[in-house]
Chain A
Amino acid sequence: MTRAKSDPDGNLAQVRHVVLVLSGKGGVGKSTITTELALALSHAGKKVGILDVDLCGPSIPRMLSVGRSDVHQCDSGWVPVYTDAQKRLAIMSIGFLLEDPDEAVVWRGPKKTALIGQFVSDVAWGELDVLLIDTPPGTSDEHLAVLENLKKHRVDGAVLVTTPQAVSTGDVRREITFCKKTGVHILGIIENMSGFVCPHCSECSNIFSKGGGEELAKLTGSVFLGSVPLDPLLSSSIEEGKDFTQAFPDSATFSAISSISKTLLNSLRTP
């Protein structure tokens, strides 16, 4: 992209805040939290973008029900896919670039690094209040590639997602070390899948233990942003690509998500 070269900020010039969503562990809900935060922020009147850099397991397109869309080119690069007519929520994911959804992206690091480089510099996001970057688990190629390509642009920080068990918080501790080593500010920790309230008898079962996220925040001196319960309504909304924040505004899960998004927004305002 010639334009990106002449202007160091290129396509990110009009992006106000960049937030990474990280977790050392897989399947803890990084993409779910990214999706719900994006929806909550966009309903709060913000212009939001999601960049999905999970190349081997992209979940964002399905969660926002955008399925197979074509990515178009414009003068300034790739046009992201919008979920709504008002263009409040823009997405870019490798899911949009695959011919067959079952096709495996069997790539080693250097190839992944190259595509992420393009994702960061060549997507024409336009004006955004917040760009959320959803990542795969681990501390490897994808994470280093994102940070390297964002060197010139200010990254506000990272939100870390964990589930309550020790097996998960153990991996997230490593991710915290990654953030410290690479100089990424930690905006806070979110505990997901925290407690399940039986819809039949209202008994709360801590399927994946409890309190791990808060403990981890204390241990590492990070902000605890809140916990999101294990809610079948949330998992089925995510499955079907429905907007949970619109469908169940009275649920405890919704109030947890909206309070997290408010805290996050405030922490972005006062850096």
Chain B
Amino acid sequence: MADVPDNAPEHCPGTASEQAGKSASCQGCPNQVLCASGATKAPDPAIAEIGEKMSTVKHKILVLSGKGGVGKSTFSAHLAHALASDSTKEVALLDVDICGPSIPRIMGLEGEQVHQSGSGWSPVYVDDNLAVMSIGFLLSSPDDAVIWRGPKKNGMIKQFLRDVDWGDLDYLIVDTPPGTSDEHLSIVQYLSSTHVDGAVIITTPQELSLQDVRKEIRFCQKVKLPIIGVVENMSGFVCPKCKNTSQIFPPTTGGAEKMCADLDLPLLGKVPLDPRIARSCDEGKSFLNEVPDSPAAEVYQRIVQRIQDYCSNRVREEQSAT
């Protein structure tokens, strides 16, 4: 991993960090002088290489949320499926949740392995036009834990962007872990020389979730990542027997609707809780194909349409600007 040399001590802060060459653990490291000189803090050459690699990818969309378990992976997977339902579009889904990769199971690819080819790692294909990459494909058993500190996770993300044979793509969707830490900073940094269309933010209706999501929005503003819009997931549950709606995760502070109004962000849609979504994810099937006429699937389709419109508008704006 580029950020932590092989001969570094256990608590290496990373060669590009502020503490490089200065922290207590740097004492005695053979690289201390080099790190302390600041040479390692120069922009990572990988950023330019990634820029080159990504020049054949038209649209890049990040799926973010400050909160865990709100449905980032479910949304990413279904966004990928929906975009790839147009067979003229090439779509790829990259999972940068290094410690908890859910994408392989949701896409029905558990147990698949990545192959090495002349031009890099080959992603795993669900369909001819839908490629997937996740650390899950590099693990030998479903029990394998990836017990890695930040710098090693960053190295992996860099490899995913630079060393995977993505080919020509219309859409690259990046699914992220919860929080605002290493993975998020890295993906934004590594993609800084390319054009990222923006982020889709996922939340559930409760304030407990929104308070973390507001932090994620702050993060996007700090790193100047445009926000495509917000999706409220698990929004109300319609009992299959009596058809009454229950607010299982109550929007006590007005839910995503109020937050979006306050922060002047577009609300892309509200997806109801539907047991069939969780079941499809467990079985690795697309919920949009399994129950296309359900209310949740209809909301999903509308959200996907809005994201597509956003992306094509952005292209048009850029063309008229030049």
Contacts and interface: CB of A to CB of B under 8 A. Distances in A.
Interface residues of B, number: 69
Summarize B's interface: helix, strand, loop or mixed: loop
Contacts of A140: 98-99, 147-150, 153
B70 A27 contact: yes
Interface of A: 24-28, 56-57, 59, 62-63, 101-110, 112-113, 136-141, 143-144, 163, 165-168, 170-171, 173-178, 181-182, 196, 198-201, 203, 205-209, 230, 232, 235-236, 238-240
Contacts of A104: 66, 180, 215-216, 218-219, 222
Nearest to B239: A198
B222 A198 contact: no
Given A140-B150, A201-B244, A205-B237, A57 B66 contact: yes
A176 B141 CA distance: 13
B68 A207 contact: no
Nearest to B244: A200
A147 to B, nearest CB: 10
B224 to A, nearest CB: 13
Nearest to A201: B242
Interface of B: 11, 13-14, 17, 19, 23, 66-70, 73, 98-100, 102, 105-106, 142-151, 153, 177-182, 184-185, 204, 206-209, 211-212, 214-219, 222, 237, 239-242, 244, 246-250, 252, 273, 275, 278-279, 281-282
B273 A207 contact: yes
Contact of B178 (A103, A136, A177): A136
Contacts of A137: 68-69, 99-100, 177-178
A167 B282 contact: yes
A232 B146 CA distance: 34
Contacts of A106: 180-181, 184-185, 219, 222
B13 A103 contact: no
Nearest to B74: A167
A25 B100 contact: yes
Given A27-B70, A140-B147, A239 B99 contact: no
A208 B11 CA distance: 39
A56 B145 contact: no
A59 B98 CA distance: 23
A71 to B, nearest CB: 19
16 contacts: A25-B68, A25-B100, A27-B204, A59-B211, A105-B215, A106-B184, A108-B17, A173-B142, A174-B146, A182-B147, A201-B241, A203-B241, A205-B240, A205-B275, A209-B282, A232-B247
Nearest to B209: A27
Contact of B100 (A163, A174, A230, A235): A174
B182 A108 contact: yes
